[in-house]
Amino acid sequence: MPAAKAAMAAHAQGKFWEFHDLAFTTKKLSAADLESYAQQIGLDLEKWRADMNSQQVLDKILHDQSSMVKSGAGGTPSFFINGKPLKGAQPFPAFQTAIEEALKEADAEIAKGTPADNVSKVLTAKNAGQTFVDWVWDGKAVTGAASPGAAADAGQGRDQARRQPEAPSAPVKIDLLPDDPVKGNPEAAITIVEFSDFQCPYCSKVPPVLKSVVEQYGKDVKIIFKQFPLNFHKEAEPSARASLAAHKQGKFWEYHDLLFENQRALSATLYDSLAQQLGLNMEQFKKDMADPAIAKRVQDDMAAGQRAGVRGTPTAYLNGVKLGGASSFEAYKTAIETALAKNRGEAVPDKPAGPTLGSLEATKVKIEGEGALSLGPAGAADTIVVFLDLQDTFSAQVVGILEQLQKESAGKLRVVIRHFPLPFREKAPMAAAALAAATALDINKALVYLKSISESANELSEQKLKDLATAAGLDAAKIDGAWNSAKWKELVDADIKAGKAAGVMASPTLFMNGRKYTGMKGYEKDMLSAALAESRQ
């Protein structure tokens, strides 16, 4: 509170951001520190002290707090982009995605005739409700409940894989239906219920994790999918109905996978196209999708989730105990092993054995790989090996962070790229083979190629890979067809085999000086840097 008052007092003299940057950079917030910052940026100290202790500044801060709580922000940092929530300390790509979506909405609103200088306010009212506009834009007194749009715990901001998970809770009853989509062993003692939204970007990270769960624990678990379309994702509810229409013809999981693979193209046209691709009876599909009973089923799933305590997506429960959001395979593994031990009547320690959040496994493995693409000298003091699926957009973010770490290491870090295309990503093996061929041609140009492939993860094709090769300065003719070459397929398969032997199940997976990084806490630069330092011990 004193720091907030000090910043607002600086704002009264037109120096808010200068004060803001000093406070966050130094992270020292004693009274003497705050006054020192005011002095450094040239404030009138007498006026600053008076403003800092004024009722007006206090009222403004209390108003901000109230509007945040009523808007469903829940904690800090929280952002609203034209009224759509983006929660938590998100990486740049999350902001980029949200802003690009907001720009598209703004263009559409301008096309309707809304003046450009009023578009943001109009869209904020549409996305978060007029009361949000009254509070935040116009500074009116905060009253009443949160608006539906703003109160939703946004999937695009609720990335539980990058923050501390919620504390374990007591089991809750989840209302299940006999025809809920199920995979795994229907008779299993362990039930995982996933509430998801097909338009939520973080929900798209869950399928590969659950696929690994089924592969390793198929006889012990059953996974049940429940719909939880968030109201600020306009295609979430229609895609939910489409998946249930496919479910009526026994193709839920196939349709589910295709929806997530084509998440950025969700539309009525896509729903029909995917149904045709799966060979569904189109007349029945369209009839079911428009059936009020299907729409009610979606609402019933949402109601069941709300009764269980679901506030955002993705949210999963294991035998009624909330696991949180898009948890890593390691999180599921720990929870499943604990449940299995209890079922066997074994004593379970308060803290389950195994890697802790954001930790490194104790065992070291040799996993660098011959001829792999790398950044930094072979004799570097530290080595990070990362297994990647090049069709995974999150991998692109991790590559960027690793590149930064390598550049800042002054030659003391080597980063090695190895391939781990996941079987459900159709274009991933093709991209891996193309990059392997590029690495053999020119390692520096291959690094440029890697970045461009990662940045184009959602639009990969044979032609795209050739175009990107040309743009990277490579001979596209020597890249063309690499995905059909036994030589490059064998190299990629060797990486996959080595990864599986070392316990890799998802992308990206990092090994720091031979120790596997369990990244439930996240992959931000400071976390990876700290883990690298720990790996030397």
Are residues 471 and 374 both part of a single domain? Answer: yes
Adjacent-strand bridge partners of 86: 79
521 pLDDT higher than 50: no
Are residues 405 and 289 both part of a single domain? Answer: no
DSSP for 256-296, please give it: HHHHHHTGGG-SHHHHHHHHHHTT--HHHHHHHHT-HHHHH
| Residue that is last in its domain, among 309, 343, 377 | 343
The pLDDT of residue 437 is 92
| Residue that is last in its domain, among 280, 309, 343 | 343
Residue 265: inside a domain: yes
The pLDDT of residue 176 is 93
Are residues 390 and 493 both part of a single domain? Answer: yes
Are residues 313 and 398 both part of a single domain? Answer: no
The CA-atom distances, in angstroms, between 169 and each of 276, 318, 450 are: 43, 11, 42
Calculated CA dihedral for residues 355, 225, 318, 94, nearest 10 degrees? 40
Residue 250: inside a domain: yes
Are residues 334 and 369 both part of a single domain? Answer: no
| Residue that is last in its domain, among 294, 314, 343 | 343
Outline where 321-392 has alpha helix (H): 329-343
Residue 335: inside a domain: yes
Sign, Cα dihedral of 36, 42, 45, 49: negative
What is the domain extent for residue 468? 363-535
Question: Quick check: pTM over 0.75?
Answer: no
Token duo for residue 217: 């624990």
Residue 116: inside a domain: no
Token duo for residue 64: 């901000």
Are residues 239 and 281 both part of a single domain? Answer: yes
pLDDT in tens, 282-307: 999 999 999 999 999 999 999 898 88
In 3-state terms the chain splits into helix, strand, coil percentages (rounded to 5) of: 55, 10, 35
95 pLDDT higher than 90: no
Are residues 434 and 332 both part of a single domain? Answer: no
Residue 430: inside a domain: yes
Q: Is the separation of the CB atoms in 289 and 242 below 8 Å? A: yes
Residue 124: inside a domain: no
Highest mean pLDDT among 146-160, 279-293, 474-488: 279-293
Region 165-194: mean pLDDT is 84
Query: Could you give the CA distance from residue 282 to residue 286 in angstroms, rounded to a whole number?
Result: 6
Q: Looking at residue 297, which CATH number applies to its domain?
A: 3.40.30.10
Highest mean pLDDT among 52-61, 67-76, 311-320, 381-390: 381-390
The pLDDT of residue 366 is 83
Are residues 300 and 384 both part of a single domain? Answer: no
* Closest among 402, 398, 462 to 433, alpha carbons compared: 462
- Mean pLDDT, the chain, integer: 84
272 pLDDT higher than 60: yes
The pLDDT of residue 143 is 62
Are residues 240 and 377 both part of a single domain? Answer: no
Q: Is the separation of the CB atoms in 494 and 323 below 8 Å? A: no
Q: Is the separation of the CB atoms in 477 and 434 below 8 Å? A: no
CA 301 to chain centroid:
23
- How many separate domains does the chain show? 2
**Least confident span in 89-98, 181-190, 384-393:** 89-98
The pLDDT of residue 364 is 84
pLDDT in tens, 335-376: 898 888 888 787 665 544 444 445 677 778 888 776 788 888
Adjacent-strand bridge partners of 222: 184, 191
Within 13 Å, how many C-alpha atoms sit on residue 371's CB side? 14
Are residues 176 and 321 both part of a single domain? Answer: yes
Strands 190-196 and 221-227: parallel
Are residues 175 and 306 both part of a single domain? Answer: yes
Angle of helix 252-261 versus helix 236-247 axis, rounded to 10: 150
Residue 19: inside a domain: no
| Phi, psi angles (nearest 5°) of residue 92 | -55, -45
Residue 224: inside a domain: yes
Are residues 188 and 286 both part of a single domain? Answer: yes
Region 202-213: mean pLDDT is 87
